[in-house]
Amino acid sequence: MDLLNLFKTYFHVLAWGVLTRGAALLNSLIIARSIGPSAYGVFSIFYAAMVIFWQLPQAFDGYFIASARKVDSQSGKTQLLKACVQLKLAYVLMGGALAYPVAMTVAHLVEKPAVLFPILTAFACGAGLAFLSSIASTYQEAERFGRYASANAFYTGPVLLGLATLFLVNGGITLWGSIGVYVVVCTLVGALSFCSIRKRTGRMRSVDFRLVSDSFHQGKWLLLALMASVIFGRMDLLFLTRYADFESIGVYSVAAQLILFVDLAVGALSGICLPKAGKAVRSDSLLRIFFKENLVMIGVLLCGIAVMVLIAPILVDLLYGVSYSTAGSILRILLCGWTFRVMFIPFSFLFVAFGDTRTRFMLEAWKSLVGLSLLYWLVPLQGLYGAAYAMSLTYTIEAATSAMVLKYKLGHGYRTIGAPRPIVEANT
């Protein structure tokens, strides 16, 4: 793919992402303005838990994409998809059994019983969205990136409609009404997504245990890496929940939500990079093209981050109001860390493409260890600012360490002929 086509593909995905995930930001804005900083702090804990429960099983989606790229037959890809969805079913059943003990433990650790019910309801939402991600992954694997972006954030539109209905019926939007809208929408979306997948793959009770076992074995390190990444990404809120009041958490969450602009841009690039990384490891020339294309796109993203740093306080006041104005300074600190994170995220998919998910997990574990140490030190000292400094420093250290490891691996370990094997080829 030449640079012109790459730009066209990227901005096509980004445009779809703006239309779909932009609704997520609008939902956040409506809720924050309606319920105020303190109640929004409680909602933010619910939303963070929902994202964690939703994203954890996406490790199986990532493995499905990386493996399906090396399978020519449609039946082989369908077998892979079915195995990954069956693993998600196991995750939902196990998560349902553990949801209450986990919620109780978190509420005890942060000494805030009010977070118990939001965390429990968050699991129901995350479980439903996990099956929506499986549908999105089929479009991503096929490089139909517009449909991938719209499918992955499809739920945000119905949530927006639900909030509008709540406002018309009740004359206002409340904390528990907002959470209720998410629960209803995500449950329905999950049920419809599962039915759609089942229609394509056949009965889920028919299990190819060898294929499911291989999928889990090959994807376990990716699952652990994603677990470390997703949980750490919300660890700042957990520490703030322990040391700050709900109003402060609400203010900090506004800054974290506005990172969505950067996350949206990076997510659009990442959606393209994962399947392309699978192709890039086939030869040295394709790998060089992969690096060249991504360096250009990273430059574009860094320009966008620079603009956001300049307008951060204005953006917060304009969208959320003066009651959240402190979030402008917090946003600037977080953006500094994302500057370095953006530089490496596109290349992180090479670990998956080369089949070295164990190294990916070790890097995520290292990041989590560094981040937890910094949060434990800085949050009690500086509150909201301490959390922002800790996250930015962690992302900077993560990017530097990961880049050094990848450079070493490319020079001493990885070879383009060592791409992961298509585990379902023998079954097709």
pLDDT score at 423: 35
Type of residue numbered 242: R
What's the pLDDT tens digit per position in 49-100? 998 899 888 877 877 776 776 677 778 788 878 888 888 888 899 988 999 9
Ranges in the chain, pLDDT < 70 = 1-21, 66, 69-70, 145-146, 149, 207-209, 211-212, 214-223, 267-271, 274, 278, 412-428
- Each domain of the chain, given as residue ranges in start order, spans 3-427
Burial of 264 (0-12, 13-18, 19+ CB in 10 A): buried
CA distances to 7, 33, 153, 248 from 174, in Å:
42, 11, 23, 19
pLDDT for the residue numbered 295: 83
| pLDDT attached to residue 358 | 80
Looking at residue 380, its pLDDT comes to 92
Identify the pLDDT of residue 428: 29
Phi and psi dihedrals of 114, rounded to 5? -65, -15
Tell me, yes or no, if the pTM score tops 0.75.
yes
